[in-house]
Amino acid sequence: MKPRDRLRIAMQKSGRLTDPAQELLARCGLKFRQSRDKLFCFGEGEPVDLLLVRDDDIPGLIAEGVCDMGIVGRNVLREYQYSHPEEGVALDELRPLGFGRCRLSIALPQDEAYDSPSQLNGQRIATSYPGLLGEWLRSNGVGAKVVYLAGSVEIAPRLGTADAICDLVSSGATLVANQLRETAILVESEAVLAGRSELPTDERGEIAELLLRRLDGVIQVRDSRLILLQAPRDALAEITSLLPGLPVPTLTAVDGAPDQVVVQALCAGSVSWRQLEDMKRAGARDMLVLPVEKMLA
Ligand code: ATP
Ligand code: ZN
């Protein structure tokens, strides 16, 4: 294969992960020219190109070296690693991305009680995740039959082709609609940036590091708020103890008011009205809560 001097990232062409993945890359400063066949998107500005594919193909494309990284559900990455143990060891979860959250769970017909994995002994379990389910059954010492289905797993118990299912759940509405109940959780999933355990040693390695730094800057502050307020010096201890996440604030003197300071702090998570009102009661005023777009330490 010809060496590449541009980084190539695979992402889902059309599905739940497409929009949030595209938005995340845009926030990292990456722009793409969309090609007509929409399989390959040339990156403008940074030397990073996109490959738009089915999510299930992403781990294999990384393992084969066609792509350097990919944005894919942890469920799909782990399934590949269990079902392709040789190629799978070279792959890693580089960063969790905080969207596409769901669970891979076992679900049983609603009227069946569940108390432990051992009750699945001898049962037929339908799934699109035979690798992950097989591993869970082995580690729990359960002998069940894995029935592979590529899709519509949730109707298998009603059709009589399985006794239970192992499928992705987010709100649980699909399970309820099919008279099923979630029991054991096998994987807590979200979208991840997947890549080879070792970054490329050529120019692509440097581009990958740049991308990871930018991603960290976006992810770290995505749920953060910058809070600005003015406070009397003697109320400072109480007010800073009320700041969500207890950040270390920066203090600035106020000209002409030696008993006052301006407090600036980066809070993890949102700041509620209740918290602002508590700080106001403690003496704070002119409070501003601002979203944070980027951070480079
Ligand atoms: P493709 O055509 O790319 O194969 P797909 O039908 O396999 O698409 P989607 O349904 O778009 O894929 O799901 C993509 C990923 O979104 C899943 O692998 C999972 O990580 C995540 N996800 C989040 N919530 C859910 C859910 N309720 N059901 C299925 N996937 C979910
Ligand atoms: Zn898929």
64 & 75 share domain: yes
**Pocket-testing residue among 168, 192, 193, ligand 1, by greatest number of atoms within 8 A of Cβ:** 168
Task: Tell me if 105 CB under 6 Å of ligand 1.
Answer: no
Q: Which ligand approaches the C-alpha of residue 153 most closely?
A: 1
**Pocket-testing residue among 13, 52, 55, 154, ligand 1, by greatest number of atoms within 8 A of Cβ:** 55
Which residue puts its alpha carbon closest to atom 6 of ligand 1?
A: 15
The domain tally of the chain equals 3
Per-residue pLDDT reduced to its tens digit, 240-283 = 999 988 889 999 999 999 999 999 999 988 899 999 999 999 99
- Note whether residue 2 is domain-resident: no
Which residue, 171, 199, 221, sits at the end of a domain? 221
Q: Which ligand approaches the C-alpha of residue 101 most closely?
A: 1
217 & 227 share domain: no
Q: Which ligand approaches the C-alpha of residue 103 most closely?
A: 1
Residue closest to 154 by CA, chosen among 130, 172, 142, 134: 172
Per-residue pLDDT reduced to its tens digit, 64-106 = 999 999 999 999 999 999 999 999 899 999 999 999 999 999 9
173 & 196 share domain: no
- Note whether residue 245 is domain-resident: yes
- Note whether residue 285 is domain-resident: yes
- Note whether residue 141 is domain-resident: yes
Residue closest to 192 by CA, chosen among 123, 93, 54, 49: 93
64 & 117 share domain: no
- Note whether residue 1 is domain-resident: no
CATH (domain of 66): 3.40.190.10
13 & 77 share domain: yes
Q: Is 173 exposed, middle or buried (0-12, 13-18, 19+ CB in 10 A)?
A: exposed
196 & 68 share domain: yes
- Note whether residue 73 is domain-resident: yes
96 & 11 share domain: yes
d(CA 53, ligand 2 centre) in Å: 9
Task: Tell me if 168 CB under 6 Å of ligand 1.
Answer: yes
Residue ranges making up the domain that contains 275? 223-291
- Note whether residue 85 is domain-resident: yes
The Cα–Cα gap between 76 and 105 comes to 14
Per-residue pLDDT reduced to its tens digit, 104-160 = 999 999 999 999 999 999 999 999 999 999 999 999 999 999 999 999 999 999 999
